[in-house]
Amino acid sequence: MKMFVCIKYVPDTSEAEVKVNPDGVTVDSARFSFDINDADNYAVEESVLIKEAKEGDITVVSIGPKQSDVMIRMAMAKGCDQAVRIEDDRIATHDPLMVAKVLAGAIKGQEFDLVLTGCMASDDGHMSTGVALAEELGVSHASMVKKVELLDGKVRAHRELEGGLLEVVELELPAVLTIQTGINEPRYAPIRGIRLAQKKELKVVNLDELGVDPAVVGLDASKVVLEQLYIPEVESSAEFIEGEAEEKAEKLASILVKGGLV
């Protein structure tokens, strides 16, 4: 099994206050902690599990800054064999279609059986990159995969639909699978493993070195413009529901129903 796994270095904004920079199109990330995107972490684990079961070779592909090397080394400590990190600020990263073209540039021309990605990035959440990548590579795909079974020349993917229903599909290899969280239990990358992984190859390239024309993946090439980021007007602190106990219960019930929360 020759595999590629595409991963992204994302901020954890679950607790941090998010502020939009004066440029209006980026956020102040100085106080964020960064880590591998959650779903991508499961994709890495799945690739390593496949390698352990079937033998194979895994290449990590990531677009990101130098700081993300630690994430890549962790993936290599878990069992990935080599990595390509693309660092180039000419990429229109707000558009998943452009990102997919760059990732495809790192994979095209090489033999592979499977490309795994996370099904969604926790920062911009388009859920589009993996499926677009499959089209760029001209191979079949399945998204939101909760279980992978390898058959002879085929892969059986269990896709997670709304309401917990699984849709089982069979794809011809090679294929792209976008992996849903919960498919496995990602392992820990011990420091000694990370140190050993320093010996594995991590190639850092820009678009020119990758052989991707910057004009094809840049802001001008993208057909969408990120115009403005802003903080939505939401209750930043709790809304205290007042009244007698029963009244509070009734008010809460209608908030939950009207808000489409239940």
Partner 1 sequence: MGNILVLAEHRQGALRDISYEMMAIAPGLAQDMGGEVTVLLIGSGMDELAKKMAAFGSKVLVVDDPLFEDFNADKYQKVLSALIDDLKPAVVMTGHTAQGVDFIPALAVEKNLPLVAEVVSLEYADGTLKATRQLYSGKVNATVAFKPADTYLVTIREGVVEPPDASADGAVEKVESPLKDDLPYRSFVEYIEAEVGDVDITQSDILVAVGRGLKEDKNLPLIEELAKAIKADIAGSRAATDAGWIPHDRQVGTSGKSVKPKLYIAMGISGAFQHVAGMKGAKTVVAINKDPEAPIFTVADYAIVDDMFKVVPKLTEKLKELKG
Partner 2 sequence: MSTESQTFTEKYDLLGCIQCGRCTGGCPVTVRADLNVRRFVYDAYHEEKLEELARLAEIWDCTACHTCAVRCPKGLKPLEVLLGLRTMIIESGKVEPTVRDALQSVLLEGNPWEKSRAARSDWMEGLDVKIAEPGVPVENLFFVCCTIAYDPRVQSVAKNIVGLLNKAGIDYAFLDESETCCGSEVFTLGEEGLFEMLVEDNTELLNEYTAKRIVCLSPHCFTTYKTRYPDLKAEVIHYTQLLEELLREGKLVWKGDLQKKIVFHDPCYLGKQGDVYDEPRALLKSIPGVNLVEFERRRERSLCCEGGGGKMWVESESKKERLAETRIKDAKALEADIVAVACPFCVLTLEDAMKGLGYEEEMRVAEIMELLGEFVEA
Kindly state whether residue 69 participates in binding partner 2, applying the rule CB under 8 A: no
**Smaller CB distance to partner 2: residue 68 or 143?**
68
Strand-pair category, 154-160 with 140-151: antiparallel
Strand-pair category, 175-179 with 140-151: parallel
Among 1, 20, 27, 35, binds partner 2 (CB under 8 A): 35
Q: How many C-beta atoms surround the C-beta of residue 109 within 10 A?
A: 8
**Orientation angle between helical segments 69-78 and 38-54, nearest 10 degrees:** 30
Of residues 11 through 30, those in contact with partner 2 by CB under 8 A are 12, 15-16, 30
Q: How many CA atoms lie within 13 A of 80 on its CB side?
A: 32
Among 89, 110, 164, 188, binds partner 2 (CB under 8 A): 188
Binds 216: which of partner 2, partner 1, none (CB < 5-8 Å by kind) = none
Stretch that binds partner 2, among 74-82, 122-130, 135-143, 250-258 (CB under 8 A): 74-82
Kindly state whether residue 78 participates in binding partner 2, applying the rule CB under 8 A: yes
Q: How many C-beta atoms surround the C-beta of residue 49 within 10 A?
A: 16
Q: How far is the CB of 35 from partner 2 (least distance, A)?
A: 6
Q: How many CA atoms lie within 13 A of 112 on its CB side?
A: 24
Q: How far is the CB of 195 from partner 2 (least distance, A)?
A: 7
Binds 54: which of partner 2, partner 1, none (CB < 5-8 Å by kind) = none
Q: How far is the CB of 237 from partner 1 (least distance, A)?
A: 8
124/11 Cα distance (integer angstroms): 10
Q: How far is the CB of 178 from partner 1 (least distance, A)?
A: 9
**Smaller CB distance to partner 1: residue 80 or 91?**
91
85/103 Cα distance (integer angstroms): 10
Count of chain residues binding partner 2 (CB under 8 A) = 24
**Smaller CB distance to partner 2: residue 70 or 226?**
70
38/55 Cα distance (integer angstroms): 25
**Is there a contact between 166 and 36 (Cβ–Cβ < 8 Å)?**
no
Binds 67: which of partner 2, partner 1, none (CB < 5-8 Å by kind) = none
188/149 Cα distance (integer angstroms): 24
Q: Residue numbers of the site for partner 2 (CB under 8 A)? A: 12, 15-16, 30-35, 70, 74, 77-78, 185-195
